[in-house]
Structure 1
């Protein structure tokens, strides 16, 4: 979609995520593309003159003319704005559209080199202070937060793990769980998978936040609220933890896929769904589909990848053959040059030779499931 520099007619912004990333310079555009690709739940906007050809495919919005014309709608549609624009320019542009700290979105500014991320507007209520810290952690920048009373340094529940791509299973309990954290009630954190370096402060974790090795252990301690990080489907007996808890899905699953030429996206997706259900793991924890380079243009695979916004990796036969697999196939080797596809691809992409599923064949599809282990 292209936003034209028309002062009287502007298209409706179809916000898909909670955050808008906006750039107006060449270097800023590259940084914005990096941030948007890594920061889950963000939509990207930059000037048409920096078009790179993949904008439609990636859902990127291009605009012409002054970015000032775009800001009122972005203010209305997004929870937060990440602007790669000079601080002075941002202050001048947003001044006329400010309404109230209870309703204005959080606004952060990033410099062109990605060295500083500044919380500009709605630091507390709008979440800009935490947004600045999360974006800074994502790109290795320094967060600048000037709010004198911003000293609590605790977990921002609605942003928890976002820089790693974590998503929540449901947002139903975000508000009460956030309240428990802010009010310094006893909060349990149970992490079964995903990145371990989520604590972003240089101070110790508050003594009101308790880490547990299992959901049952946390349940037994009767916390006021809970944050659970897991790729698996919870057992019925564990669901009680979510009565005032949020379940986060880290991106830790890799799907190694082999398929016959011309296999439909519908068949591939059906096999994926069935397999994940059999393993009792969440599709929201899938990060990547991996395969052989012969399949890099396989229409069905590409359609599934695009639909779910997964990354797509493929390997040369020689790379796949470096891995020791359970059932090497001379037939597969004859046609592809590799003794297997799904199994070694899942190993290579996940960086882990211990798979959740070594290999399963269903119709035209062969699938293996790898697990990304974070130590």
Structure 2
């Protein structure tokens, strides 16, 4: 998909405005109704002409674009969209702009689809009034379903989001426990509401009289955690806080590397969703199995020279590894370097053709950083 945004206009004024937006907003393709497009040939800007009903055009746009901007009435937009809707995780962002350009309205997928953010941007470009009705945005609080999105955090499940969001916007007590990940997760302009309590442990969370919970952790929750959260809508977020130091014999298959990684994470009770990337020595930068593993999971691959690896003190430096690579160790120092000097959770484990170490990134800051954003 070359462009992310489709702008659709069916009137003279709408086409003028859509072409103006197309010139101001990158990655936008403008669709113009043929009947009036020819009359406006003097207006610069590339355009795609359509002469059939808009209802026949929209299904394809919904599949191909991340956002659709409609330059006609809100009522018409709602009627046209209704048969196309799936759910908030799959529907594109939809924005409606009246043909005079007075109002830019976020209609669909305001949070996950980014319609609210795009609405504000378009309103600035067109000097229009943004209209956003999402409760969390109106109140200036954080959205439960967008937490840590800019950092790549993943929600373990979206099932609890409705309950957590309802508690947030209705002023009910919500407990937040953060054990890992970036601290400054409040979006710009948002505040931590008085009814949201930050907890330092699961035991402290359990003592809170809360109606919902948010847990930010790279740990797999155990039975005690489940008991603490039982009966609550609880959103569990997985920050990208883990780095895998990997070493392997030449030609090790991706399947063997993956099996060792998943087995090790399970033993450590850590979530694979929290892995940011892998790290190894430069001579392994062309290792096919390692590259395939990283591609499969979208992990970064950090490569370090023997000199860089040797700057990390090791309790058990290996003369054998040094003879083969020029470094006294690979997986352990690679994990520590890639984590920025974080916490080593697993010093070294050898399994078959693979050696692995695991480190947790230290993001710094503290509870005050989030509270005072």
Alignment TM-score > 0.5, same fold: yes
Determine the structure 1 residue equivalent to 2:66: 81
Aligned length: 303
1:305 Cα deviation after fit: 0.7
Aligned to 2:271: 282
Cα 1:128/1:2, change in 2 over 3 Å: closer
Q: Do the aligned partners of residues 265 and 212 (structure 1) sit closer, same or farther apart at CA in structure 2, a change above 3 Å counting? A: same
Q: Is residue 71–residue 94 contact of structure 1 (8 Å, CA) maintained in 2?
A: no
- Three-state SS of the structure 1 residue aligned to 2:183 is coil
The 1:353–1:168 alpha-carbon spacing in structure 2 relative to 1, beyond 3 Å, is closer
SS at match of 1:357: strand
Gaps of 5+ in 2: 4-21, 30-46, 86-90, 97-102, 365-373
State the Cα distance separating 1:210 from its structure 2 match.
1.1
Residue 167 of structure 1 and its aligned partner are, at CA, apart by 0.5
3-state SS of 1:324 partner: coil
Mapping of 1:42-121 within 5 angstroms?
A: 66=48, 72-73=58-59, 76-77=62-63, 81=66, 90-92=69-71, 98-99=77-78, 105-107=92-94, 120-121=104-105
How far apart are the structure 1 equivalents of 2:150 and 2:271? 19
Task: For 1:105 and 1:2, locate their aligned partners in 2 and report how far apart those are by CA, in whole Å.
Answer: 16
Q: Distance in 1 between matches of 2:118 and 2:344?
A: 32
* Corresponding residue number in structure 2 for 1:348: 337
Cα distance, 1:202–1:28 mapped onto 2, change above 3 Å? closer
CA contact (8 A) 1:177 1:245 kept: yes
Tell me, yes or no, if the aligned pair for 1:347 and 1:353 is still in contact at 8 Å.
Answer: yes
Any idea what SS the aligned residue of 1:177 has?
helix
State the shift of 1:72 in Å. 2.9
Counterparts of residues 154-169 of structure 1 (less than 5 Å): 154-169=141-156
Residue 209 (1) aligns with residue 196 (2): yes
Residue in 1 aligned with 2:187? 200
Residue 93 of structure 2 is aligned to residue 122 of structure 1? no
Q: Which residue of 1 aligns with 2:18?
A: none
| Structure 1: unaligned runs, 5 residues or longer | 4-23, 30-44, 47-64, 84-89, 110-118
The superposition leaves residues 90-114 of structure 1 with CA deviations (integer Å, 9 ceiling, x where unpaired) of 44499998325885743479xxxxx
Shift of 1:202: 3.6
Equivalence for 1:249: 238
TM-score normalised to structure 2 length = 0.69
Partners of 1:204 and 1:2 in 2: how far apart?
37
Secondary structure of the 1:99 match is: helix
Superposed CA RMSD in Å reads 4.0
Residue in 2 aligned with 1:18?
Answer: none
